């Protein structure tokens, strides 16, 4: 006789798991509209962070500063890359070789009447890139370029900051005794609009609502 045999086997398994977790944290609340990280000269590596708290505040001054800072950095990148170049007319109005008044000479009475004072030479006080605050100190405000000192910052980019931050009327009032500054401002603003299509005056005014 023969024999056959069959066999089957099945198996199932299930498993469930639950878990909960909570976490709290505290930190300084940021109310600025935006923060910028431009540690690289490459546009692709910029980081822009928009703060809801800052936007909700609807602070016109902060919104204006955020606008001009962002646009300034865009212009700066183009200038550093050579896409935007120095305004020829502005260069013709500025003398980078003749020595200007030094730190001690600027402190002397009547220094502002000297044609070699930096303001009379057409160089406005510097605005910081970070917050557009003005400094009148000699060390960071006057060392543009001459035969004795190195370049510590670029005159053109400072003019862009000045033009974005101040209206022409504000600049005329601020530097009414230094017409060369206004002439350089006019030359750069005109060149930016006619050559590159960048309306510095319009950016300064912002949206008309």
The share of the chain scoring above pLDDT 90, in percent, equals 40
44 vs 42: CA distance, rounded Å? 5
Mean pLDDT of 181-202: 97
**Helix intervals (H) in the chain:** 52-57, 60-80, 88-93, 103-106, 138-141, 155-165, 168-174, 179-196, 200-205
Please give the DSSP secondary-structure letter assigned to residue 176: T
- The model's pTM: 0.71
| Tokens at 119, concatenated | 């303001």
114 vs 101: CA distance, rounded Å? 8
> How far is CA 109 from each of CA 2, 104, 106, rounded to the nearest angstrom?
128, 11, 8
Residue 139's pLDDT is 60
Question: In which band, very low, low, confident or very high, does the pLDDT at 55 lie, cut at 50, 70 and 90?
Answer: low
């Amino acid at each position: 006789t023969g024999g056959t045999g069959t066999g089957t086997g099945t198996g199932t398994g299930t498993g469930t798991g639950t878990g909960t977790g909570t976490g709290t944290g505290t930190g300084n609340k940021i109310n600025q509209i935006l923060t910028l990280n431009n540690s690289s000269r490459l546009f692709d590596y910029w980081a822009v962070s928009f703060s809801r708290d800052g936007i909700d505040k609807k602070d016109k001054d902060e919104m204006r500063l955020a606008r001009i800072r962002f646009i300034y950095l865009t212009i700066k990148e183009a200038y550093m890359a050579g896409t935007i170049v120095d305004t020829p007319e502005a260069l013709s109005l500025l003398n980078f070789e003749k020595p200007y008044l030094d730190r001690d000479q600027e402190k002397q009475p009547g220094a502002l009447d000297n044609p070699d004072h930096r303001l009379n030479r057409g160089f406005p006080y510097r605005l910081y890139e970070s917050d557009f605050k003005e400094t009148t100190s000699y060390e960071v405000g006057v060392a543009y370029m001459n035969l004795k000192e190195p370049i510590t910052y670029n005159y053109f980019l400072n003019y862009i900051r000045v033009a974005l931050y101040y209206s022409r009327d504000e600049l005329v009032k601020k530097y009414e005794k230094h017409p060369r500054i206004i002439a350089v401002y006019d030359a750069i603003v005109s060149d930016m609009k006619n050559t590159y299509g960048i309306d510095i005056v319009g950016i300064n005014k912002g949206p008309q609502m």
